[in-house]
Amino acid sequence: MSRLWGRKMNDLAHANFIRILCEVASKYGCTVHKIDKWFPSSKLCDCGYKNDSLSLNDRTWVCPHCGQIHDRDVHAAEMILRRGIYELTSDSKTIEPLGFEAVTVSQESHTLWGWEYVKK
């Protein structure tokens, strides 16, 4: 079907998945939170540095500010989790790159961790 209908079919399948996910989440009393699609999750470091020169071919990168080595996909997933926790705990969509403090959110079966912005 994707070959016949192209990208349209993929978009419809994703929208249907999101709809079903929201229905199941509401049935069990869970929250589905969407992150902004332009959030630079793979380009951000824990120290706040943003690597704008990162290309799709770069699978790992080293932060020139703190020296931390990042696996692009794993680190992007961690940053998306942190961003979601931050937005849910602060009811905000804005975030500053520096000045974060660790925060832990407990749920029934597991504990999520992330970063919370601390105003100074």
| Domain spans of the chain, in order of start | 1-32, 33-117
Looking at residue 71, its pLDDT comes to 92
Q: Three-state SS string across the chain, please?
A: CHHHHCHHHHHHHHHHHHHHHHHHHHHCCCCCCCCCCCCCCCCECCCCCECCCCCCCCCEEECCCCCCEEEHHHHHHHHHHHHHHHHHHHCCCCCCCCCEEEEEEECCCCEEEEEEECCC
Looking at residue 6, its pLDDT comes to 62
From first to last of its 120 residues, what are the pLDDT tens digits of the chain?
556 556 666 666 777 888 888 899 889 988 888 888 888 889 988 888 999 998 888 999 999 988 999 999 999 999 999 898 888 888 655 544 444 444 444 444 444 444 444 444
Looking at residue 10, its pLDDT comes to 65
